[in-house]
Amino acid sequence: MDGVHNGFNRIYRCFLQLLRPLDGLGPLALRLFLGPIFVLAGWNKITGIENVAAWFGNPDWGLGLPAPMLMAWLAALTEFLGGIALVLGLGVRLAAIPLMFTMAVAAVTAHWQYGWHALPEQTLTMPWEWRKDLIDEGVARKDKAVELLKAHGNYEWLTQAGNFTVLKNGIEFAATYFVMLLALLFTGGGRFVSLDYWIARRRGLQEKGW
């Protein structure tokens, strides 16, 4: 039994050694997934900053946040500049912190009251959904909308680009991005595939963590 155990350990160590030169691919994938999302989100806020500030500040149909123009600019620049930093792999750990804060604020202020799921999934993908009532209501409204469209519109043409749904708007995306950013906070931009790594290497810093 000890021989089998030792043999497995040797194979596993060899496997880890083979993976080590490629361990930057995980952080790279996270960066290239998240970076463009934040760049576009930030740019859309910048180009429509007045509307964003109005939504942030209005207590009736918006978020009711204080200093809405300041908050709008902070969110816009954090997403835009942070997204660029992620794509380049420059200051990844530093960029992750304000982006995580932005996602946490978005989850609490804009999405929490709608539960977890972004879409009204009839089959739950996560067991901790706390607004199952909205799922039932969303499905009922979708079914009614489909009924009306079939009765009064060209439903086949209307659904050629995709089926209709009702946005539930839960925290799912914000929470997912937060977790991905948390991973980058601890891994950094990745060995060989980030500017952080090459800057650290040029300065003679340890490679571990870069």
Mean pLDDT of 108-113: 94
- Judge whether residue 106 has pLDDT over 70: yes
Distance CA 163, CA 165 (A): 7
pLDDT for 10 equals 84
Q: What is the pLDDT of residues 151-192, one digit of tens each?
A: 988 888 988 888 888 889 999 999 999 999 999 999 999 999
Instruction: Give the CA angle between residues 127, 133, 138 to the nearest 5°.
Output: 105
pLDDT of the residue at 136:
86
Residue 187 CB coordination number (10 Å): 20
Indicate the angle between helix axes 172-187 and 92-106, nearest 10 degrees: 160
CA distance 172 to 103: 11
Rounded-to-integer distance, Cα 81 and Cα 35, Å:
9
Q: Nearest CA to 171 among 134, 140, 122, 123?
A: 134
pLDDT of residue 84: 98
Instruction: Tally Cβ neighbours within 10 Å of residue 172.
Output: 21
pLDDT at 189: 95
Where is pLDDT greater, at 93 or 20?
A: 93
**pLDDT (tens digit, 9 = 90+) per residue, 193-205?**
999 999 998 887 6
Q: Judge whether residue 1 has pLDDT over 80.
A: no
For residues 201 and 158, give the distance between their C-alpha atoms in angstroms, rounded to a whole number.
55
Contact by Cβ (8 Å): 171, 186: no
- pTM listed for this prediction: 0.87
The position carrying tokens 């749904």 is 165
Q: How does residue 210 score in pLDDT terms, banded at 50, 70 and 90? A: very low
pLDDT on residue 159: 87
pLDDT in tens, 51-92: 999 999 999 888 999 999 999 999 999 999 999 999 999 999
Q: Which residue has the tokens 């740019």?
A: 43
pLDDT over 70 at 31, yes or no:
yes
Q: Which parts of the chain fold into alpha helices (H)? A: 2-19, 25-47, 49-57, 68-88, 92-106, 132-152, 155-158, 172-187, 195-202
Least confidently predicted of 11-15, 40-44, 113-117: 11-15
pLDDT at 205: 64
Q: Give 164's DSSP letter.
A: -
